[in-house]
Structure 1
Amino acid sequence: MSTAIITSEAERARMRASTQSFFGIVRGELLKMSRRWSTWIPLVLVQLFICAGMLIRLIGNGTKEFITQHPLNFMYSEMQNGLAFIRIFTGLYLLVLVAYVIGLEYQQGTIRILVARGVGKVTLLAAKVTSVVIAALLVIILSMILVVICIGILMLVQTGNLDALKALTGQYWADAGIYMLTVLVSTGVTILLGTAFSVLGRSLTIGLSAGLAWFPVDNIGAQFLQLAYRITQNNFWKDVTAYFLGPNLNIMASQVLPAKLGFSSTGIPPLVDVDGAHTLWVTLVYAAIFLVVSVVLTWRRDIKE
C-alpha cells in the first residue's frame, strides 16, 4: 500500500513539474522575444503604418462633412479601415516573429540544447507557438488602442469634437465584434502558416522568405488565373481561386457581416462568388494542414542541426 502511495505521489509530482516546465518555456520564449531588436523594430514600423493609414483622411476633402452629416457611416468606415490595417500589417509582423522564434532556433542550433535537457520536441513547438499567440494578442490590443486614438484625433482635427461617438449603437459594437473575430481567425492561420514553413525549412531564412512570400503569391496568382480565364474562357481557372487562402481572408469580413453595411474586400478577392461560411471552411482547412505539417515534421524528424 505504501509503495502504491509513494508511486502515486511521485507521478503527481512529475505531472506538476511537466506543467511548470511548459509554462516556464513559454515565459522563456517571451523573455527572449522582448530582448530582440527584431521584435521591436518591425513592431514600431507596423504601428507607424497603421497610424499613417488611419490619419490619411486628414489631408482628404469632404471628411468634415462626412463626419457631421453621416457620423454612424463614418464610424463604420473607420472601423473597417482600422481592423483591415490591423489584419494586414500585424499579419506580416507575426510572420517575421514566428520565423525568429522557431526558425532561428534551428538555424543557430540552440534547439539541440533545449531538447537535450529533456524538453519534448512537440512540447517545445507548442510552447513557442503559445508565446507567439500571447504576443499576437498584445500586439492586436496595442494596435486597436492606436486605431481608437487615431479616430479621435481625426474627429477632433476635422470637427473639433467627438460628437460622432454619440451615433454608435449596439448593432455597431456587435458588427465590430464579428469583424474582430475575422481578424483573430486570420491571425491564427497566419501564425500556423509561419510555423509550418519554419519547421519545414528549419531555418530563419526559409521560414521568413516563404512565409512573407505566401500571400503576395497567393494574391498575384489569382490575377494570372484571371488572365488564363480570359484566354481560354474556361471557368476552371476562376473556380480554383475560391480555394486560395489569401483571397478568402481578404473577403471574409465583408461576407460574414451583413451585406447592407457595404464592406468591400480588403485585397484581391476570389474570382467567383463565395459566402462567409465558405471563407471560414477554407481557412479552417488551411489551418489544419499547417498544424498537421508542423506537428508531424517536428515529431518524426531528428534534430541534426
Structure 2
Amino acid sequence: MRKTTRSLLAAACAAVAFAAAGCGTTSENTGQAQAQDPTRNCQGPNGKYTIGMSQANLAEPYRVRMDDDIRKAAARVPQFEVEFADAAKDNSKQVSDVENFITKQVDLLVISPNEAAPLTDVVRKAYRKGIPVIVLDRKVEGDAFTTYIGADNVQIGRQAGEYFKNVLLPQGGKIVQLKGLSGSTPAAERERGFREGIQGSKIEIVATADGEWERSVGQQKMDALLKAHPDIQAVYAQNDPMAEGAYLAAQAAGRDDLKFVGIDGLPIPSGGIKAVEEGRLEATNLYPTGGAEAVEAAKKLLIDCQPVPKIQTLQTELVTKDNAAEVYARLNQS
C-alpha cells in the first residue's frame, strides 16, 4: 500500500511538474530554470513598474556606487519606482529582503547576492513566481534567473596577474593575497584568474587572507600578514578598499617599499582610480557596477516587451598612472 502511494505521488508530481513547486523536481534540486516568459509583466510605456533592488552590503563603496548608478538611471525612466534593501552582509536578511519583494509582488527583481549558495533558493522562488530577475555582479547557482550582468572576474584576475608578471615583478617575488568574502563568486574567480595570469613566473603567493571586501578588515589582516611574512614585495587585493587598507597597515609598519594592486576602479574621489593617480596603488582593474545596464535591461523587459540576453558581460581595463586621469575623466562624462 505504501509503495502504491509513493507511485501515485510520483506520477502526480510528474504530471504537474511545471505548475507545482513542492514536488521536488530535478530542476528544483539543481537550480535549473523552468521556462519563463521574461516579458510577462510588460504593459508598455503606459505602465507603472516597481523594481526591488536587493543589495549585499552598503559598507562597500562599490555597492553604494552601484545603487547610485541604478537610482540615476531609473530617474530617467518615469515609469520606474525602485525600492532598495541593504542586506548588510547578512545572508538571512537578504533572503528576507527578497521574500518581502516577492510578497509585494514587485514587477522585477534586481539582486547582487552576498553569497551564491544561500541566495539561490529565494532567487529561484522569485523567478518561478514569474518575476523577472536581474542578477548583478555576483552570481547564484543554477540558471533560474532572467539575465546576469557583470564583468568577467576570471579575466579581471588574469589581467591583474599578468600585470604582476610582466610589469610589477618581472623577476618574481613573494606576495600576499587579500581575498573577498569566501562564499561570493568573484572571490573564487578573481583568485583563479590571477593564478592563471602569474603562471610561468617566479611569483609566489605566500599567504592568502579573507578581507571580506572591506578596508578595515583588509587593514587588520594585512597587519598580521606583515608580521608573519616580512619578506613580501607586493599585495594583490581583490578590491580597492582592501588594497587601501593593506596600504595603511604597511605605512604603519614602515613598509614604504611594498606595491599594491586592487580591483574596482571607482571613478569617485575616494575610489581606486584616484588612489592610483596619487600613488597609493600601482594599478587597479576596472569593474563596472552594471547599474545603468540593469535599468536598461529592466526597460527592455517591462516597457519595450523585448527579451534580453541570458548573460551580459561588461568590459574591463587596466588602470595605471599612465591612463588614470583619462579613465577618471571619461567615466565621469555622463
- Under a length normalisation based on structure 1, what TM-score does the superposition of the two structures give? 0.28
- Under a length normalisation based on structure 2, what TM-score does the superposition of the two structures give? 0.26
Question: Which structure carries more helix by proportion?
Answer: 1
Larger relative contact order (Cα-Cα within 8 Å, sequence gap ≥ 6)? 1
Question: Which structure carries more strand by proportion?
Answer: 2
